[in-house]
Amino acid sequence: MALKLLTLIASLCFMSCFMVINSQKDVYDPITKTMEEFSGYPVHEPHLQDSFTSLSVDTESLQRQIEELSTFSDSPAPSVTRVLYSEKDVSARRYIKNLMAHSGLAVKEDAVGNIFGRWDGYEPELAPVSTGSHIDAIPYSGKYDGVIGVLGAIEAINVLKRSGFKPKRSLEVILFTSEEPTRFGISCLGSRLLAGSQELAELLKTTVDGQNISFPDAARFAGYENAKDLSSVFLPKGSYSAFIELHIEQGPILEEEAIPIGVVTAIAAPASIKVDFEGNGGHAGAVLMPMRNDAGLAAAELALAVEKHVLDSGSIDTVGTVGILELHPGAINSIPSKAHLEIDTRDINEARRNNVIEKIHNSALNICKKRNVKLSEFKIVNQDPPALSDDSIVKATESACQELNLSYRKMISRAYHDSLFMARISPMGMIFIPCYKGYSHKPEEFAAPKDIANGVRVLALTLAKLSLS
């Protein structure tokens, strides 16, 4: 009898001990807490509690995927070059679709190759929450730009699945087509179309790349046969209840301040301009200096004028770059008869950025007069407004950071992202993680595995919150 009593007391002690551990796990686990806060009742099925493993990121797999994806490149490692609809881009897309399927997502693609992987929520009629980024890479760039927001998003879904989480709103991972303007000179091509740019849909029918390959032909090469009917890509406003993108900062602030997470409040307004000058060209020895109208020098003068106008704005937030400068015919002993420039200018203040564009245009006209060359083209390819993050997404991300015990700072994004265009059809937010010395768009780009894992955890928890809201 005494033995029976002792056994009973011992097993009661064991059970209460187990309950304390279990309830502590519930109290401290951020996902459980979030789900219960939003729903107002314990949302886990009892059997899920047992398998609940918290927000653990499979860093090893994620690092392996980053390395594997970087091998789909047209330039030698450690650089990455992955241009829209190239063979390497097609292989990389296949790789991502396989990962999505492997994570149990229902995969579909639209006419330009925006790829969607959906995890159905238990209220699938509600607008889903989406996340994603791009995997195209400008020539000789790095492994992390965009990639973290795609592989990291798939891993965030895996994290949630492993935790036993059940989304209320469906969760969707998006791989956007051609965030980089490399091939057709148009940035964020996929997300602009998703956001319903009729103008771009028209333009793409006749747009050609540097090899004179048309956009629909290039898309066909990559397996997108219907890239003529681009209105099918448009998504109505309200298609998503939220969109959130994880990305490396591409600047030095987070690393310098040793802060693991940046919560983006706004994205700067980007613009790009194509300029062509034409002169007479001629023999580099025979044509005397007073007789020349050198298109190359006109371009050089305009490049310096861009720098001057940007600096004259008086704000550190105004930037301008001449990233492309091509001379024709490109021979040492021939005066350039044609010059082509592509100018990128941005600012968090749209009016100030527009003022710079106007000044660049005036300079181009004045240089033509002075040098007797022709301005055969001055084309503003895009002149986009800035975008503000949605308050509810900023708040959800902030509370995810707090619950995960990660410090964060609010910041603006000086780089553009697909988020800039998703903001036109959905409340938008972004999560930044530090990157080495702020390097980006070059092979030295690097983000530490720990920082990536933190970003994925914040993304996972923010997705969970948004899914239940």
Interaction mask 163-192, ligand GLV, x per CB under 6 A: -----------------x------------
Could you give the residue ranges of the DSSP H alpha helices within 105-239? 147-163, 189-194, 198-203, 215-221
Could you give the residue ranges of the DSSP H alpha helices within 318-425? 350-371, 391-403, 419-422
Residue whose CB is less far from ligand GLV, 102 or 442: 442
Closest alpha carbon to 246 in 174, 332, 310, 297: 174
Out of 30, 121, 146, 196, the only residue in the binding site for Mn ion (CB under 5 A) is 146
In the complex, minimum distance from the CB of residue 251 to Mn ion, in angstroms, rounded to a whole number: 12
Q: Which stretch binds Mn ion (CB under 5 A): 4-12, 113-121, 141-149, 268-276?
A: 141-149
- The closest residue (CB) to ligand GLV is 415
Are 114 and 174 in contact by the 8 Å Cβ rule? The answer is: yes
Q: Counting contacts by CB under 6 A, is residue 423 touching ligand GLV?
A: no
Out of 89, 110, 136, 145, the only residue in the binding site for Mn ion (CB under 5 A) is 145
Q: Counting contacts by CB under 6 A, is residue 66 touching ligand GLV?
A: no
In the complex, minimum distance from the CB of residue 415 to ligand GLV, in angstroms, rounded to a whole number: 3
- As a whole number of angstroms, the distance between CA 384 and CA 42 comes to 45
The option from Mn ion, ligand GLV, none interacting with 251 (CB < 5 to 8 A, set by class) reads none
Residue whose CB is less far from Mn ion, 266 or 287: 266
Residue whose CB is less far from Mn ion, 248 or 463: 248
Q: Counting contacts by CB under 5 A, is residue 418 touching Mn ion?
A: no
Closest alpha carbon to 218 in 141, 109, 112, 136: 112
In the complex, minimum distance from the CB of residue 147 to ligand GLV, in angstroms, rounded to a whole number: 12
- As a whole number of angstroms, the distance between CA 73 and CA 80 comes to 5
The option from ligand GLV, Mn ion, none interacting with 121 (CB < 5 to 8 A, set by class) reads none
Angle between helices 2-28 and 30-39 (to 10 degrees): 80
Q: Counting contacts by CB under 6 A, is residue 416 touching ligand GLV?
A: yes
The option from ligand GLV, Mn ion, none interacting with 416 (CB < 5 to 8 A, set by class) reads ligand GLV
Residue whose CB is less far from ligand GLV, 243 or 416: 416
In the complex, minimum distance from the CB of residue 419 to ligand GLV, in angstroms, rounded to a whole number: 11
Q: Which residues pair with 326 in a beta bridge?
A: 340
- As a whole number of angstroms, the distance between CA 49 and CA 352 comes to 54
CB contact burial 93-110 (16+ within 10 A = b; e otherwise):
bebbbebbeebebebeeb
- As a whole number of angstroms, the distance between CA 152 and CA 167 comes to 18
The option from Mn ion, ligand GLV, none interacting with 249 (CB < 5 to 8 A, set by class) reads none
Question: For ligand GLV, how many residues bind (rule: CB under 6 A)?
Answer: 3
In the complex, minimum distance from the CB of residue 233 to ligand GLV, in angstroms, rounded to a whole number: 20
In the chain the first and final C-alpha atoms are separated, in Å, by: 55
In the complex, minimum distance from the CB of residue 138 to ligand GLV, in angstroms, rounded to a whole number: 7
Are 163 and 143 in contact by the 8 Å Cβ rule? The answer is: no
Q: Which residues pair with 301 in a beta bridge?
A: none
How far does Cα 222 stand from its chain's mean position? 21
Closest alpha carbon to 344 in 366, 312, 318: 318
Q: Counting contacts by CB under 5 A, is residue 281 touching Mn ion?
A: no
Q: Which residue has the tokens 């923010």?
A: 462
Q: Residues interacting with ligand GLV, by CB under 6 A?
A: 180, 415-416
Q: Residues interacting with Mn ion, by CB under 5 A?
A: 145-146
